[in-house]
Structure 1
Amino acid sequence: MAVSRRTMLRGAAAGALAAGAVAAVPGTASATGAGRLWHHRVPKDKISIQLYTLRSILEVDLEGTLSALADIGYRKVELAGTYGRTAAEFRRILDRHHLRATSTHVGIDGDINQAIADAKVLGNRKSNVAWASFPTIEEWRTFAARLEAAGKAYRRAGIEFGYHNHAHEFERIDGVRPWDVITRTTTRRNVHLEMDLYWVVTGGADPVREFYRVAGRVTQYHVKDRAPDGGFADLGEGTIDFRRIFRANWPLEVDEYIVENDQPVDPLECAATGYNYLSNLRF
């Protein structure tokens, strides 16, 4: 009897979830450590996943993959495109699987009014510019001013607007970090920060220090682990000390913890591992 790809995807998700429930999350086997009680946890309703992580299988079976994510336990996702569907079509698919696209990655070179309209249809609460790179600080300043203007338009539409970092924003150009240009040129009112923890570490910065330098502006984390060789790893299998980061920053808790892996070996297993890691972590 032929087995549909959707059934296979859901079975894979269930298997990964079961495996995650049995395996101890690193550092969470005991409720205490060195005499300290670990009493904080990531609320499940704040766990999301960047769909870029699953792009290879979303392109083959969109509905089956979203269904599998719901089976794992996800209720929120972050978009990076709608895979050939209109905003309305994609929203209906999400609704069928009881998922909410609370966040999305966007650009600012196109029609901002249309992007805002699509974000409203999709139900996005936050929209973030995913990438920018310029060779001079003056170009970064110009870009930051454009971010501020776009953020003002999004705010007026009732949507929070932000910027997602990579590593190069922490590398100095003529003695100045582009990250500092962005955070000093834009305002808290119009531009929040989606801090990608993997890229902060790869850029040679400390996520805790950077968090408090812009205290209150980091409202989302991309929770992405780093392999010993500098590559990508599923959560809990790499070298980034998320427990330290989350514990230090807890007084200004973020709105969303977004699982991501740019190059997963098995996208659904990665998704299940990430959900289990975050939901079981104590800090």
Structure 2
Amino acid sequence: MCGEEAEKFHSRRAILRGAATAAVAAGAAVTLPGVAGAATTTAAQPAGFGHGHLRVPVDKISIQLYSLRTALEADLEGTLSALADIGYRKVELAGTYGRTAKEFRRLLDKYRIKATSTHVGIDGDLDQTIADARTLGNTRANVPFAAFDTIDGWKQFAGQLEDAGRAFRRAGIPLGYHNHAHEFEPIDGVRPYDVLAANTSGRYVHLEIDLFWAVEGGADPIKLYWQNFPRVPQYHVKDRTADGQMVDPGAGVIDFPRIFRSTLPNLHEYIVEHDMPTDPLATAQAGFRYLHTVRF
């Protein structure tokens, strides 16, 4: 990082440090037919709670570090420190940025951050992948992406995912699958997502629902959650404008309060994410602020 870039980075960190402790008003989600409306399925709600009485516990707020990859590549330790300043105590990994698992774990421990979740591949040395996950302290792992042109291809992948899930389960780390939009586009009349769910077991493979991509693919997140209950312990919380652009949580039209209110049971982590943020640390701050202040 050059001197000018470092100055800008640390200046932004200082701003975030101060803002992280300030009280911030929650923004209201905008309703849009076909987007926020995609989350209108009626579902069971906790007895005794009305709208606006519930909140996301701080210990369930996390962030996918893929959102901060450019900042992490520029200043790994400074970025982790900034996340801690914002208030994050949990992260989801997408690599260790040139560090060994042991080295990265030491940095996480230094800033009192736990890498409770991770995105991993299952095509390589699975034993090493699992060993690294244990070193990093991961309590869940997820395969971030798969794509096949045929239903048979998806079925074969489901078998591979189930086998890998058994190996991860033996190590005490449940394995799951993270969706994009294409899993909801039918092939010969069948959605690949349904093939994955039907050809894996809840015991060995859970489902991490990316809410942006589910909505982008035309799925109803609430219906998807209950169709697969209790297999969904994690959400990726990223927002969407009316014309389909990805934005920070709370800045778009996805009705997160309705989704959260209708799918409380078994939800362990709400993970902030933005695939292409213009300012990764600002996105991290906006995401934490939204999840910390939203009421449902």
Q: 1:100-179 counterparts in 2 under 5 A?
A: 100-179=114-193
Contact 2:24-2:289 at 8 Å conserved across structures: no
Match of 2:273 among 260, 272, 276: 260
CA–CA separation in structure 2 for the residues paired with 1:131 and 1:92 = 28
- Does residue 281 (structure 1) correspond to residue 283 (structure 2)? The answer is no
Deviations 1:133-165 (A, max 9, x none): 000000000000000000000001110100000
What is the SS of the residue equivalent to 2:127? helix
Letter in 2 for 1:154: F
Letter in 2 for 1:262: D
- Does residue 188 (structure 1) correspond to residue 202 (structure 2)? The answer is yes
Q: How far 1:200 moved relative to its partner?
A: 0.3
CA–CA separation in structure 2 for the residues paired with 1:253 and 1:127 = 16
Q: How far 1:39 moved relative to its partner?
A: 1.2
CA–CA separation in structure 2 for the residues paired with 1:44 and 1:231 = 27
- Compare relative contact order (CA 8 Å, sep 6+) and give the higher one, 1 or 2: 2
2:43 match: none
Q: 1:74-93 counterparts in 2 under 5 A?
A: 74-93=88-107
Structure 1, unaligned stretches of length 5 or more? Answer: 28-35
1:17 match: 20
Distance 1:262 1:143, change over 3 A: same
Aligned residues: 273
CA–CA separation in structure 2 for the residues paired with 1:216 and 1:184 = 14
Structure 2, unaligned stretches of length 5 or more? Answer: 30-49
What is the SS of the residue equivalent to 1:98? coil
CA–CA separation in structure 2 for the residues paired with 1:238 and 1:221 = 17
CA–CA separation in structure 2 for the residues paired with 1:4 and 1:271 = 19
Contact 1:12-1:268 at 8 Å conserved across structures: no
CA–CA separation in structure 2 for the residues paired with 1:176 and 1:158 = 33
Distance 1:37 1:173, change over 3 A: closer
CA–CA separation in structure 2 for the residues paired with 1:233 and 1:15 = 23
Letter in 2 for 1:26: A
TM-score (norm 2): 0.88
CA–CA separation in structure 1 for the residues paired with 2:207 and 2:52 = 27
Deviations 1:227-260 (A, max 9, x none): 222111011100100001011112x141100000
Q: How far 1:9 moved relative to its partner?
A: 4.3
1:26 match: 28
CA–CA separation in structure 1 for the residues paired with 2:229 and 2:143 = 20
CA–CA separation in structure 2 for the residues paired with 1:131 and 1:111 = 18
Contact 1:9-1:64 at 8 Å conserved across structures: no
Deviations 1:103-150 (A, max 9, x none): 000011100000000000000000100000000000000000000000
CA–CA separation in structure 1 for the residues paired with 2:8 and 2:105 = 22
Match of 1:7 among 7, 10, 27: 10
Deviations 1:67-114 (A, max 9, x none): 000000000000001000000000001111110100000011100000
CA–CA separation in structure 1 for the residues paired with 2:54 and 2:153 = 41
2:250 match: 236
